[in-house]
Amino acid sequence: METVLITGASRGIGLELAKKFIDHGYQVIATFRGEPSKSLEALRASNAITLHELEVTDSSSIKKLASALEGQHIDILINNAGVIGAEQQSFEMVETEAWLDTFRVNTIAPLLVSRALLPLMDQATNPRIITISSQMGALNSSSMGMYAYRTSKAAANKFMQVLASELKPKGFTVCPVHPGWVQTDMGGKEADITVQESAKGIISLITTLTLEHTGTFFSWQGEALEW
Ligand X SMILES: NC(=O)c1ccc[n+]([C@@H]2O[C@H](COP(=O)([O-])OP(=O)(O)OC[C@H]3O[C@@H](n4cnc5c(N)ncnc54)[C@H](OP(=O)(O)O)[C@@H]3O)[C@@H](O)[C@H]2O)c1
Q: Which residues bind ligand X (CB under 6 A)?
A: 8, 10-14, 33-34, 54-57, 80-83, 105, 132, 134, 179, 181-182, 184-187, 191
| Residue closer to ligand X (CB basis): 173 or 183 | 183
Between vectors from CA 36 to CA 191 and to CA 8, what angle results, nearest 5°? Answer: 45
| Residue closer to ligand X (CB basis): 211 or 225 | 225
| Inter-residue contact 154 to 141 (CB < 8 Å) | no
Instruction: Supply the minimum distance, in Å, between the C-beta of residue 144 and ligand X.
Output: 17
Burial annotation 176-198 (CB, 10 A radius, 16+ → b, else e): bbbbbbbbbebbeeeeebebebb
**First-to-final CA distance of the chain:** 33
- Angle, nearest 10°, between helix axes 147-167 and 109-117? 30
> Which DSSP symbol is given to 161?
H
| Residue closer to ligand X (CB basis): 8 or 201 | 8
Instruction: Supply the minimum distance, in Å, between the C-beta of residue 150 and ligand X.
Output: 11
Instruction: Supply the minimum distance, in Å, between the C-beta of residue 169 and ligand X.
Output: 28
Instruction: Supply the minimum distance, in Å, between the C-beta of residue 70 and ligand X.
Output: 21
| Residue closer to ligand X (CB basis): 2 or 178 | 178
